[in-house]
Amino acid sequence: MAQQLTAQRVTLISLGVDDLERSATFYEALGWQATEELLAVRFYRLKGLMLGLIGVDALATDQGRPGAGLGTGAMTLARNYRSPAEVDTAFAAAVAAGATVLKRPEQVHWGGYSGYFADPDSHVWEIAHNPFWPLDADGYLAGEHG
């Protein structure tokens, strides 16, 4: 069971991008700081996991399907914030960094406050306040993990 339970985790999120410098400029304009760049992958350390930017062709090759066209949009990343006001601030920062607005932050049906934008490669981010999900001091979800 321990082996099964430890499988309930994510340690790396890789985003396939058309132009690594363009994408890095976008994320770094948000205040992100790169941890390392290795073999043309630029890594950003999160809490317990990494986010990597990698050329989309290299990603398709790594996936074992060189030349494949990879689509975006049906996997969404979110950052949660402590209040609607923080959501507005973070969303405005993303727009200032060049994000494409999909939906400006608003009160949403599940009881929170949320907006969506797309990064330069159409990777979709949600910026949200969820009053039902308390955050720890680092801004990650509080509580025991699965």
Interface positions, 57-116, toward its own copies (CB under 8 A): 59-60, 62-65, 68, 70-80, 89-90, 93, 102-103, 108-110, 114, 116
Distance CA 41, CA 49 (A): 15
Site residues for its own copies, window 24-43 (CB under 8 A)? 30-33, 35, 38-39
Distance CA 8, CA 14 (A): 18
Distance CA 33, CA 63 (A): 27
To the nearest whole angstrom, how small is the minimum distance from the Cβ of residue 8 to its own copies?
5
Please tell me whether residue 5 binds its own copies under the rule CB under 8 A: yes
101 forms beta bridges with: 117
Site residues for its own copies, window 113-132 (CB under 8 A)? 114, 116, 121, 123-124, 126, 128
Write down the residue that tokens 């494409």 correspond to: 100
